[in-house]
Each structure stands twice: as structure tokens, then as C-alpha cells.
A and B are shown apart, each in its own frame.
Chain A
Amino acid sequence: QVQLQESGPGLVKPSQTLSLTCTVSGGSINSDGSYWSWIRQHPGKGLEWLGHIYYSGSTHYNPSLRSRVTMSVDTSKNQFSLKLNSVTAADMAVYYCARGRPFVYSSYGMDVWGQGTTVTVSS
């Protein structure tokens, strides 16, 4: 059974870079067709998809963050990562990683989620 676990600093200074890693266990990040996503949730708010990466390294980013976000994958470690630069207080949120899996008609759904990690932006 695939499980995901986020890791990284819970506190980032303004203007610096937020770096998080998601470790995949119980399965391979090389799963055909699966996209590995990052989603965030501001306190008391809804969900925002940040982007995803395929095991090959192919990425799609949310245009709202495209200039600040970078995702990468390390298949040897079964991990994928998020970097968000020039952070501000508006980036304070719970960050989740998730697996986007294709279902019928190649409709993707995020069926496995990490527990989430809280990121605070403060000097």
C-alpha cells in the first residue's frame, strides 16, 4: 500500500526558499501513468493545486505560481520535491503531497495523500 510522507523545514524566512520533500513508500514512484502532486491549504481555507511531476521529470505547474515553483524527482530515493522561492506570508499553509492516478477514461484523481506539513513564514 503506497504511503506518502512530507518532510522539510516548518519555518521559512520571508524572501527565502521553501523546500519540501515527499517520500513514497510501499510502491514505486515510477508507476506508469501516476503524477506526483503538491497541494496546499491556507489556514481555514480551501485546497490549491500547485503542480505535479511525472517520474520522467515532466512537470505541470499552476500558472499562479509558475515563476516561483520548481518540482523535481529522485527515482533512486523514491522521492519528489517542491521548491517555492521568494516566499511571503501568503505562502503560509499546510502543504500536502499526493499521487495523481489515472482512473477510467484517463481521468486523474489524487488517491493517496501525505499527512501534510505546516509551513510558517516568519523572520
Chain B
Amino acid sequence: DIQMTQSPSSLSASVGDRVTITCRASQSISIYLNWYQQKPGKAPYLLISAATNLQSGVPSRFSGSGSGTDFTLTISSLQPEDFATYYCQQSFSIPWTFGPGTKVEIK
């Protein structure tokens, strides 16, 4: 199985801050990397597919980059509705695997 790691596991930030979350795969996954946002009691929500492709309706303050083993999710200006847990997920090989999540909290 491909292991996914994320850093940090949690962070505190203020509205308006630039936030960067890193995801690393245990082997190369090309661009087969997705990012999800999950709020408490809700299902995950797909933000970015194929490492860099913003899903329709997702605000442009979200962006993704990377390929191979190292990926980044950036929120350019954190908004109140962005406080949530973010997961990366690889679809390069079966089984699809998720990172452990990064919880973004209010400072």
C-alpha cells in the first residue's frame, strides 16, 4: 500500500493568513492526488483533483501543487468557513489511501 503522510497534523491560524499543508506519498504517484475538506459531522468535500485541478465551485483561494511524492495545498487567505480538517488521498494504485488529516483551527 502507498502510505500518505501530512504535515502539520494541526495548525492554528487567523482569518486572512496564508496556510500551507504538505502531503507526502511513500512512492511516486505522479499527479494522482486529491485534496478534501471535512467539517465536523459532514462528509468530505473534494477540493482539488489531479494535484492541481480546482473543482467547480471551489474558491480560488485554494490551490494545489506538486507531483511525484510531494504535494501542497495552499489557502491564500484563510476565511472563517475554511476551518476544517483537510485530507490528501492518492488514486494512483489500489488500495486508495488517505493521509491522516490536517486540522486547521482558529488562532
Interface positions of A (Cβ within 8 A of B): 37, 46-49, 51, 60-64, 96, 98, 100, 103-105, 107-111, 113-116
Contacts of B101 in A (CB 8 A): 46-47
What are 17 A-B interface contacts by the 8 Å CB criterion? A46-B87, A47-B36, A47-B98, A48-B98, A49-B89, A49-B97, A60-B94, A100-B91, A107-B50, A107-B51, A109-B34, A109-B89, A111-B49, A113-B45, A114-B43, A115-B42, A115-B43
The answer to whether A109 touches B49, judged by C-beta atoms less than 8 angstroms apart, is yes
In terms of DSSP, what is the predominant structure of the interface of chain B? loop
Report the bound CA distance from A16 to B106 in whole Å: 43
The answer to whether A63 touches B1, judged by C-beta atoms less than 8 angstroms apart, is yes
Report the bound CA distance from A108 to B33 in whole Å: 9
Interface positions of B (Cβ within 8 A of A): 1, 30-34, 36, 42-46, 49-51, 53, 55, 87, 89, 91, 94-101
Which residue on B lies nearest to A112, using beta carbons?
A: B46
The answer to whether B31 touches A105, judged by C-beta atoms less than 8 angstroms apart, is yes
Given A47-B87, A47-B98, decide whether A105 and B50 contact each other with a Cβ distance below 8 A: yes
Given A103-B53, A107-B32, A110-B46, decide whether A46 and B94 contact each other with a Cβ distance below 8 A: no
| Smallest beta-carbon distance B38→chain A, Å | 8
Apart from A110-B36, A111-B49: 9 A-B pairs, beta carbons within 8 A: A61-B95, A62-B95, A96-B43, A104-B49, A107-B34, A107-B49, A109-B49, A115-B43, A116-B43
The answer to whether B44 touches A47, judged by C-beta atoms less than 8 angstroms apart, is yes
Contacts of B33 in A (CB 8 A): 107
- Most chain B beta-carbon contacts within 10 A, residue among A107, A108, A110, A113: A107
Which residue on A lies nearest to B38, using beta carbons?
A: A47
Contacts of A62 in B (CB 8 A): 94-95
The answer to whether B99 touches A109, judged by C-beta atoms less than 8 angstroms apart, is no
Contacts of B94 in A (CB 8 A): 60, 62
Contacts of B98 in A (CB 8 A): 46-49
Contacts of A115 in B (CB 8 A): 42-43
